[in-house]
Amino acid sequence: MPVIQARSAGFCYGVRRAVELAEKTAQESGSCVMLGSIIHNANVVARLERLGARQVDSPDAVRPGDTVIIRSHGETRQVLERLEAMGARCVNATCPNVLHIQHIVSRAGQAGRMPLVIGEPHHPEVMGAASWWDGTLVFPGPEELERWLLEDPARRDLPLTAVAQTTCVRSIWESSKKILKKLCTNAELFDTICDATHRRQSEAAEIASRVDVMVVVGDRKSANTKHLTEICRELCPRVYQIEGAEELTPDLFIGCSLAGLTAGASTPAGIIKEVYTTMSEEIKNNEIKEESFEELLD
């Protein structure tokens, strides 16, 4: 078998649930609005649009009475309040893992603690989580967190509550945790990296460490796909991040006898299958070419 495919590749349950809710809502109501990208995949969005789900990028485009699907990443509290005030009906497809983080942030703030989120500041999930308590701080990684703590010694004694973006790279969260434990006197830590992400990242690392080439499939805007690529690059010398099989060319697999394949949480099974088939064919063709070349030399 020249291609090892990660069992965890593709839709996580949060994304599957959001897509199913959008399909069901569009079919039942005849029309609805998807606020932001419900999934980072143009084909799936196009299919939902054909069913009557219109994608908009801002709440300004929502009209009173619209049925609005809230994506799996969640929304900011301000946006949800605004939608409610204008009389929109919200179908909340926020992943339960993301709701859990929002809840921790809100509860910590109410208890007089300062919430910290370790994650990408401009990612919708992180912006949404931070919005549940004014004054929540977001740090992309351990360096920024350590710098902030060392800038003012008084910060080390603050009551801090730290959470991780659900798709945070595990090593970033572990290093951030170490800093908080070493420097702070009153920090509580919640490991909120979701199980689906954890499984996907560990499996990608395990496969990347034993193959010649690793292929990661997912939308270029998808944060969890980008994280998978970063993890694989630390363990495998040749890693290609692609959006679909059409990006695969024979030269990518020259000299490769074993390849690995994984995919981000928004990548549909059909695309993964196509990539798997193309990779297997390319590797087989290269092997035939190499064998014929050796025969010519004999």
Residue nearer to ligand F3S on the CB measure, 39 or 279: 39
| 15 touching ligand F3S, by CB under 6 A | yes
User: Can residue 136 be called a binding residue for ligand F3S (CB under 6 A)?
Assistant: no
- In 3D space, the residue among 123, 82, 124, 128 whose CA is nearest the CA of residue 105 turns out to be 128
What letters, b where the CB count within 10 A reaches 16 and e where it falls short, cover 24-43?
A: ebbeeeeebbbbbbbbbbee
14 binds ligand F3S (CB under 6 A): yes
Q: Is 39 or 179 the residue whose CB approaches ligand F3S more closely?
A: 39
Pairwise CA distance, residues 104 & 110, whole Å: 10
Q: Is 166 in the site for ligand F3S (CB under 6 A)?
A: yes
The least distance separating ligand F3S from the CB of residue 13, rounded to whole angstroms, comes to 6
167 contacts ligand F3S (rule: CB under 6 A): yes
Q: Which of 125, 146, 243, 282 is catalytic?
A: 125
Least gap, CB of 119 to ligand F3S (angstroms): 12
Count of residues interacting with ligand F3S (CB under 6 A): 15
CA dist., res. 266 & res. 12, Å (int)? 8
Q: How far is the CB of 11 from ligand F3S (least distance, A)?
A: 8
DSSP code, position 132: T
**Among the residue ranges 12-20, 105-113, 168-176, 254-262, the one whose residues contact ligand F3S (CB under 6 A):** 12-20
Task: Give the residue, chosen from 12, 90, 242, 261, that forms a contact with ligand F3S under the rule CB under 6 A.
Answer: 12
Fill in the per-residue mask, 78 to 97: x = in contact with ligand F3S (CB under 6 A), - = not in contact. Answer: -----------------x-x
Using the rule CB under 6 A, give the single segment among 50-58, 105-113, 147-155, 194-202 that binds ligand F3S.
Answer: 194-202
| CA-based end-to-end distance of the chain | 28
Q: How far is the CB of 105 from ligand F3S (least distance, A)?
A: 15
Which residues face 259 on adjacent strands?
A: 3, 213
Whether the CB-CB separation of 108 and 87 falls below 8 Å is answered with no
- What is the largest distance, in Å, between two alpha-carbon atoms of the chain? 79
- Specify whether the CB–CB gap between 39 and 19 falls below 8 A: yes
Please state the separation of Cα 182 from the chain's center in Å.
29
In this structure, what token pair is assigned to residue 79?
């946006």
In the annotation, is 125 catalytic? Answer: yes
Q: How far is the CB of 121 from ligand F3S (least distance, A)?
A: 18
Query: What residues numbered 198-257 form the site for ligand F3S, per CB under 6 A?
Result: 224
Q: How far apart are CA 170 and CA 262, in angstroms?
A: 17
Radius of gyration for the alpha carbons in the chain, expressed in angstroms and rounded: 22
Helix ranges, 163-297 (H): 170-183, 195-208, 223-233, 269-297
Closest CB to ligand F3S among residues 98, 242: 98
State the residues that interact with ligand F3S by CB under 6 A.
12-15, 72, 95, 97-98, 166-167, 194, 196-197, 224, 265
Q: Which residues are catalytic?
A: 125
